[in-house]
Amino acid sequence: MNVRLHVMLLGVMSLLLCAPALAGQVSHQRFASETLGRDYPYTIYLPDGYAVSNQRYPVIYLLHGSFGSDRDWTSSGNLRRVADHLIGEGRIPPAVIVMPGSLSWWVDGHNEAARTAFFDDLMPHIEASWHVHEHRQGRAVGGLSAGGYGSLNFILERPDLFAAAAALSPASYSPMPPGNSSARRHPAFLDEEGRFDPVLWSQLNYTAYLDDYLAQPQVVPLYLSAGNRDPLDAEGHARRIHRELVDHQPEQLMLEILRGGHTWRVWRTSLPNALMFMSDYLDPPRALED
């Protein structure tokens, strides 16, 4: 069992204070999504030298939380500074980081088909538009809160697509979300009468994919983290996920408990370890094919 119980706030503060000059580029993009019938927004981080490198890069998808946007990881999560530092120090290889935007909880819910749009529209668009790997060992997915819920769902349903994953304070509540969870008021899970739909929650939660995942041999290494004072008990739910997966993948599972609640302070603290964990399983940049 790989359980790490420690606080990293001072380490991350030092990392940010000592980070080299920003070199990666961040831009805000969008494309027409056939599934959604509207533009699909995303923010993208390109490592230093991307434009002239003549290489394909590993790609990491980072999902935002409930009622969030594609800009959250850069505006609140210090993504660019953290990525610049980790790449500059050689702790992770240069990577393209895609931060998509969704009006749902990364599911085909009552308000939009976010899951289908991610798989059928976003991923093909990214691989056609940017120099990224187009195979399993070149992809990872992570997210916070509802984004952690989405990341866990994605890897359990499609372990053939991702080499690694991270779920920070995952809102993967079982059997039902707590009364103070935004899932109970999010349009993704509200029926036509505006009431929370427990049947849909059960159909879309990670538990619906768990048995099939455990019955097949392919493993997606997973980093889990949560705050020890989370009012939604993300720690308890992360520990439950760990228990459910540890026998299947004892050496490909990491759980980190941090001091704090359901806040950006916790997510910023765990982001470096999440990126380093996922990057350990990703193929490095390689020359573009002739």
Q: Residue written as tokens 């699909």?
A: 40
pLDDT score at 91? 96
Minimal CA–CA distance to 24: which of 44, 47, 42, 43? 47
Q: Phi then psi for 238, rounded to 5 degrees? A: -65, -40
Looking only at the bridges linking them, the beta strands covering 139-144 and 96-100 are unpaired
How far is residue 88 CA from its own chain's centroid? 22
Q: In 101-231, which ranges are E strands?
A: 139-144, 164-168, 222-227
Q: Residue written as tokens 């706030």?
A: 9
Q: Residue written as tokens 């000059």?
A: 21
State the DSSP code for 98. Answer: E
Q: Which domains does the chain have, with CATH numbers?
A: 3-287 (3.40.50.1820)
Radius of gyration of the chain (CA): 18
Minimal CA–CA distance to 269: which of 183, 105, 156, 144? 144
Which residues of the chain carry a pLDDT beneath 70? 1-22, 290
pLDDT score at 289? 76
Minimal CA–CA distance to 53: which of 97, 99, 95, 98? 95
Q: 278 and 166 in contact (C-beta within 8 Å)?
A: yes
